[in-house]
Chain A
């Protein structure tokens, strides 16, 4: 039981925060949003492999 508690407590971190003029965001959330925007743009511009050969 003690090991369980210690292991659980060990997984909690403060995290890194970025802020501009009252706007604050945690680094993990910012990374996920940036990744989604990058995927969205890449989906629009990247050619699909084998797309020309398909019916």
Chain B
């Protein structure tokens, strides 16, 4: 395999002689997600809105869920049920889940009324839906691991439903050990993977423009040599180029 110079940011990737699967994968990845799209420095001006912050709020909450979950798992239930610090960290784990779902639902509402699946963003929408569903299952297993009468009540209300749909053997709510594995390994990995894919797809396609920005916004016309309409008076001329993440 011949050595190839790494393309710079925004450089069209031309590697016609990529003849191994790693070379083809690299060429495909660099074409789909060049470094300047993966880690952009500028966003279109319409991103300066509260409607665009709730996804990142959900990610920040998820980060604390994972961090506090690692602390809880390493110290064990006798720590987080008995000691003051353990109770506190346990509570932050719960409240970061509450914030995660609050931010995720508000994010969902805002993107739904923005028709955020426009412009080839269907997979971004679908991965968002999947992350929501998997997060619900992950949170459910968390409520089952409270190891109190509340979790016992939830488990024995849920077992009949899970048996009825035929998953009771693999997802046994009466088996705390199995649920612990689901809750601290499989489901967090699934949520993390889907959320990472969701964010990467947002970077590939760019954040969705507001409905009223469609067709007329100068920042969406950056591929044309001359914008059909002049940019906003407050925006500098290079704004048209800064919207590179938007298609």
B42 at the binding interface (Cβ < 8 Å): yes
B146 at the binding interface (Cβ < 8 Å): yes
Residue from A40, A42, A43, A55 with most neighbouring chain B CB atoms (10 Å): A55
Contact of B147 with A40 in the complex, beta carbons under 8 Å: no
B-side interface mostly: helix
Shortest Cβ distance from B42 into A: residue: A55
Chain A-chain B contacts (Cβ-Cβ < 8 Å), number: 63
- Given the known interface contacts A11-B148, A12-B148, A32-B102, the answer about A42 and B48 at a Cβ–Cβ threshold of 8 Å is no
Contact of B106 with A4 in the complex, beta carbons under 8 Å: no
Contact of B48 with A48 in the complex, beta carbons under 8 Å: yes
Binds A, one of B115-123, B129-137, B162-170, B235-243: B235-243
- Given the known interface contacts A8-B147, A55-B242, the answer about A40 and B48 at a Cβ–Cβ threshold of 8 Å is no
Sort chain A's interface into a size bin. 20 to 34
Contacts of A40 in B (CB 8 A): 106, 109-110
Contacts of A48 in B (CB 8 A): 48-50
- Given the known interface contacts A36-B106, A39-B106, the answer about A46 and B50 at a Cβ–Cβ threshold of 8 Å is yes
Shortest Cβ distance from A46 into B: residue: B50
Contact of B147 with A43 in the complex, beta carbons under 8 Å: no
Contacts of B78 in A (CB 8 A): 4
Contact with A along B73-95 (1 / 0, CB 8 A): 00001100110000100000000
Min C-beta distance of A5 to chain B, whole Å = 9
Q: A11-B150, A12-B150, A42-B50 are in contact. List 18 more A-B contacts (CB 8 A).
A: A3-B82, A4-B77, A9-B148, A11-B148, A12-B148, A32-B98, A32-B101, A39-B102, A40-B109, A43-B51, A43-B110, A44-B50, A44-B51, A48-B50, A51-B45, A55-B235, A55-B238, A55-B242
Q: Which B residues contact A (CB, under 8 angstroms)?
A: 42, 45, 48-51, 53-54, 77-78, 81-82, 87, 98, 101-102, 105-106, 109-110, 146-150, 234-236, 238-239, 242
Q: Which A residues contact B (CB, under 8 angstroms)?
A: 3-4, 7-9, 11-12, 32, 35-36, 39-40, 42-44, 46, 48, 50-52, 54-55
